[in-house]
Amino acid sequence: MIFSELYGAYYNAVAAILREAAAHPVTKEELRRITAENAFSESVLTIEPALTGGKWPLLRPDGTGVTRFPPTMPLTLLQKRWLKAISLDPRIRLFDADIPGLDDVPPLFTPDDVFVFDRCADGDPFEDETYIRTFRLVLDAVRDRQPLSIGVRSRNGGTAHLNGMPEYLEYSEKDDKFRLAVSGFRHPVFVNLGRVLSCRPFCGPRRMVRRKPAPAAEKSVELELLDERNALERVLLHFAHFEKEARRLDERRYRVTVRYQRDDETEMVIRVLSFGPLIRVTEPESFAALIKERLEMQKSCGLG
């Protein structure tokens, strides 16, 4: 969890609990509240039993902390090496992120150490200087509510032009592309940033029809998992960037509901299959059918 920007919240949540415990005994109700404020809704399933049951020996039975002083969290060498590793990701340059103090720190891994499968091969040119300038201009326009005038290369090789209000950027892991949602039209408009030929602030009339693009169709899948080989923690980490809920059924079984966009359905099927027999799809039947179809396809290819 130390390597995840999302699951680093566990450390922040425990640090907040220990700061409270340094001042007075922490009750279970306070522990749950602090966990909810600093981590995720399902984090209480992990943090509370770990602290109260002694797995993480940081709290006494009376709710006081075992340390005399509130915790501090300086960066460790391992964390610095992780930051150096992600600073090598070409997508970091898009955000003009500056991470100081890493000049002499060796990266934990490099982009050459990562092999990604089931991803489209024609992703956006993240290292292209024109693409970087366009991305930053678009990002500033989204933040500042600045209309844009955008020239786009169409699928048939032609050029399209539009003036509109940028609403938000979204990234597809499967396609390895960013696209921009633009309002001001009768129907939602989404622009692939890799197809943008020109982009500048729109200097025409500021009054525009604000028809905000409808969000992509959302779906959900309900999973029942057997918590063997640390399956619960691996599932929560694997689906960290999806909206989800987790509920304990008994000592070893959990029910996890994961919400995802319709465009990510193929990726979701692959992710669920990666857990093998530890996960069973309970709803919907249409998703279970996709799992069966994928397994039959693998079997026909000699992969199952």
Question: Is residue 248 in a domain?
Answer: yes
- CB half-sphere exposure, 131, CA atoms < 13 A: 17
DSSP of 121-174, one letter per residue? Answer: S----TT-HHHHHHHHHHHHHHHHT--EEEEEE-TTS-EEEEEEEEEEEEEETT
The residue out of 176, 201, 226 marking a domain boundary is: 201
Which H/E stretch holds residue 216? none
**Whether residue 185 is found in the same domain as residue 224:** no
Virtual CA dihedral for 113, 116, 121, 125, nearest 10 degrees?
Answer: -50
pLDDT at 5: 54
Question: How many domains is the chain partitioned into structurally?
Answer: 4
Give the chain's end-to-end CA distance (angstroms, integer). 31
Say if 230 falls within a structural domain: yes
Q: What residue has token string 């959900």? A: 220
Q: Is residue 54 part of a domain?
A: yes
Within 8 A by CB and 6+ apart from 208, the residues are: 147, 164, 165, 183, 184
- Please check whether residue 145 lies inside any domain of the structure: yes
Residues in the chain, pLDDT under 50: 1, 209-213, 303
Q: What is the CATH number of the domain that holds 266?
A: 3.30.70
Please name the residue that has the structure tokens 């060498």: 77
One-letter amino acid for residue 178 of the chain: F
Per-residue pLDDT at 127: 92
What are the pLDDT digits (tens) for 167-204? 888 888 778 899 998 888 777 688 899 999 999 998 86
Is residue 123 assigned to a domain?
Answer: no
- The whole domain housing 7 covers 1-73
pLDDT value for 301: 62
Whether 106 and 83 share a structural domain: yes
Q: In angstroms, what CA-CA distances link 150 with 142, 164, 196, 227?
A: 14, 8, 7, 50
